[in-house]
């Protein structure tokens, strides 16, 4: 039996929600979009299936028999039918997407009437689009792009009307500039984040000219979608203006958040958080640790970090780390309790156990931390590695030297067998090497302590540097 669950149409159809499936069924049954009875027959069979409980009915022979009763099986013919259904699906999805965007729909309608040289209906559709535009509460980049589309359609209808001169050329030019400048700056900020992650350089085209132009026209920065991304870019690339620019960016974010979509607000918070995290390795660590926490807390309160009601494991773990770094033990305890149910079920237990063990570690409840860390398998590689590092420290504090020695050996073997990026390999090997040195250290020799302290300080790639130095005490 060969199931066809990997077929593109079948995968996408069963991804639709119930309302979308009903709407698509009407689409398939409409003679305006589909005149093939065989397509309707095959679709109705798929529509009535539960893909989890009745997966065996997705067998290619069963599907073909439903479409062509009493006809010998022919796989290319079945594939052609599913391809036709996929074309219907794509037309349906595009139509639904455009229909839900009322303003764009009206502009498309105006363009369609204009192409038919029906001037009055085109003007009516354009007027309706302008009214929708004026009623909008959002004022993000999409708003600027729509402003340009409105000006362009106004110009197009004027030109089609054989007028001697279009009346909105300046407005057309200004709206185009604003949309382009905002889009260019937003993309530049996106490029910055990718460069930070992958150490890759990108050709930014006219960006330097854009920045120079805006520096000469500061009044344009009053436009929130321009000012936000301009000040963020300056904070990231101009160390001499970093603090001032980031403060302006943050002020814009808090002041203008209501006029940005939830998805864009989320992106802006993530940009701000990433900036603050990057600054944690500077002399302003304490300040930016608080900044990072305030940003995370604000984003949680606004609900912009949630995706379909769920919080990502990465964000969950980061928030715990920042809150513990500030010593907010009670807040962290409540956060873990409140938000662990909002993790994907697949990661929930491992993330909850690991982060609860971090909380126990901070409370110096080392035995409770060890119990959680040993009990969970931590399937995710990076979570597994982080849990092993935490368990190393737990065993050290419990003075469980035999268990610690065994874990060091197992950790080394684990690293040799797993594909871990060079950056992480070096960091974990440094931790293991220095942990062994710490275990073997003569606790009564200040000379040996100073020597190890110096070695820890000069080790560049060491995420646990602060913990090692704490164990070695002040010089």
Q: Please write the tens of the pLDDT for every residue from 233-245.
A: 999 999 888 989 9
Q: How many CB atoms lie within 10 A of CB 125?
A: 22
Q: Residues 81-94: pLDDT tens digits?
A: 999 999 999 999 98
Whether 255 is covered by a domain: the verdict is: no
Q: What is the pLDDT of residue 163?
A: 55
Domain membership of residue 56 (yes or no) is: yes
Q: Which residue has the higher pLDDT, 473 or 216?
A: 216
Is residue 91 situated within a structural domain?
A: yes
Per-residue pLDDT band at 161 (split at 50, 70, 90): low
Q: pLDDT (tens digit, 9 = 90+) per residue, 25-55?
A: 999 999 999 999 999 999 999 998 888 888 8
Is the predicted pLDDT of residue 372 greater than 70, yes or no?
yes
Whether the predicted pLDDT of 366 surpasses 70: yes
- Model confidence at 125, in pLDDT bands (50, 70, 90)? very high
What integer pLDDT is reported at residue 59 of this predicted model?
87
**Residue 213's pLDDT is what?**
95
State the pLDDT at residue 43: 92
Whole-angstrom Cα distance, residue 465 to residue 373?
22
Selection from 363, 365, 413, 422 nearest residue 388 by Cα: 413
Average pLDDT over every residue of 199-222: 88
Q: Is the pLDDT of residue 165 over 60?
A: no
Residue 415, Cβ density class (10 Å: 0-12 exposed, 13-18 middle, ≥19 buried): middle
Number of domains in the chain: 1
What pLDDT sits at residue 196? 56
Bridge partners of 310? 307
pLDDT, residue 375, reads 83
pLDDT of residue 3: 63
SS3 of residue 127 by DSSP = helix
Arithmetic mean of pLDDT over the chain: 89
Q: What is the mean pLDDT of residues 416-432?
A: 84
Is 366 inside a domain boundary? no
Burial status of residue 295 (CB atoms within 10 A of its CB: 0-12, 13-18, 19 or more): buried
Reported as a single tens digit per residue, the pLDDT across 305-329 is: 988 889 999 999 999 999 999 999 9
Are 271 and 305 in contact by the 8 Å Cβ rule? The answer is: no
- Which pTM value belongs to this model? 0.74
- Asked if 315 and 305 count as a contact pair (C-beta separation under 8 A), the reply is yes
Q: Is the pLDDT of residue 401 over 90?
A: yes
User: What pLDDT, on the 0 to 100 scale, is given for residue 417?
Assistant: 84
pLDDT > 70? residue 164: no
- Give me the mean pLDDT over the 385-402 stretch: 95
Q: 68's torsion region: left (phi>0), alpha (psi -120 to 50) or beta?
A: beta
The answer as to whether 13 is a domain residue is yes
- Any idea how long the chain is? 475
Residue 405 lies in a domain: no
Q: Is 58 domain-assigned?
A: yes
The answer as to whether 51 is a domain residue is yes
pLDDT of residue 52: 82
Do residues 405 and 366 make contact, with C-beta atoms less than 8 angstroms apart? no
Provide the domain limits for residue 68: 8-100
Residue 162 pLDDT greater than 80, yes or no: no
Q: What is the pLDDT of residue 195?
A: 67
């Amino acid at each position: 039996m060969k199931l066809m669950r990997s077929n593109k149409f079948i995968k996408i159809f069963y991804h639709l929600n119930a309302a979308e499936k009903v709407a698509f069924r009407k689409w398939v049954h409409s003679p305006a979009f589909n005149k093939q009875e065989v397509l309707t027959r095959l679709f109705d069979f798929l529509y009535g299936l539960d893909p989890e409980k009745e997966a065996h009915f997705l067998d290619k022979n069963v599907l073909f028999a439903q479409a062509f009763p009493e006809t010998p099986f022919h796989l290319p013919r079945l594939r052609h039918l599913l391809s036709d259904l996929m074309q219907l699906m794509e037309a349906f999805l595009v139509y639904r997407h455009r229909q839900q965007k009322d303003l764009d729909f009206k502009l498309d309608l105006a363009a369609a009437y204009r192409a038919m040289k029906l001037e009055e209906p085109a003007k009516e559709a354009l007027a309706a689009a302008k009214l929708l535009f004026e009623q909008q509460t959002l004022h993000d980049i999409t708003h600027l792009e729509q402003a340009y589309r409105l000006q362009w359609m106004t110009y197009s209808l004027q030109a089609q009307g054989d007028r001697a001169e279009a009346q909105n050329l300046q407005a057309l030019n200004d709206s185009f500039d604003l949309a382009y400048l905002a889009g260019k700056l937003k993309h530049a900020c996106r490029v910055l984040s990718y460069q930070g992650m992958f150490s890759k350089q990108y050709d930014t085209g006219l960006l330097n000219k854009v920045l120079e132009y805006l520096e000469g026209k500061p009044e344009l920065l009053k436009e929130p979608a321009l000012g936000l991304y301009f000040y963020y870019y300056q904070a990231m690339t101009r160390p001499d203006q970093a603090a001032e620019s980031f403060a302006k960016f943050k002020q814009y974010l808090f002041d203008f958040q209501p006029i940005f979509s939830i998805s864009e607000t989320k992106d802006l918070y993530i940009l701000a958080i990433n900036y603050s995290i990057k600054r944690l390795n500077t002399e302003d660590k304490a300040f930016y640790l608080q900044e990072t926490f305030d940003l995370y807390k604000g984003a949680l309160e606004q609900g912009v970090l949630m995706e379909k009601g769920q919080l990502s494991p990465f964000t969950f773990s980061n928030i715990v780390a920042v809150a513990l770094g500030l010593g907010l033990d009670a807040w962290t305890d409540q956060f873990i309790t409140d938000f662990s149910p909002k993790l994907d079920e697949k990661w929930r237990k491992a993330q909850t156990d690991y982060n609860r063990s971090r909380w126990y570690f901070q409370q110096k409840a080392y035995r409770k931390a060890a119990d959680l860390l040993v009990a969970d398998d931590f399937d995710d590689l990076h979570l597994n590695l982080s849990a092993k590092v935490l368990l190393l420290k737990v065993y050290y504090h419990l003075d469980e030297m035999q268990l610690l020695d065994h874990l060091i050996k197992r950790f080394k073997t684990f690293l040799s067998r797993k594909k871990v990026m060079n950056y992480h390999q070096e960091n974990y090997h440094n931790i293991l090497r220095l942990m062994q040195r710490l275990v073997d250290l003569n606790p009564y020799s200040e000379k040996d302590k100073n020597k190890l302290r110096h070695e820890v300080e000069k080790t560049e790639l060491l995420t646990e540097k602060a913990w090692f130095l704490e164990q070695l005490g002040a010089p």
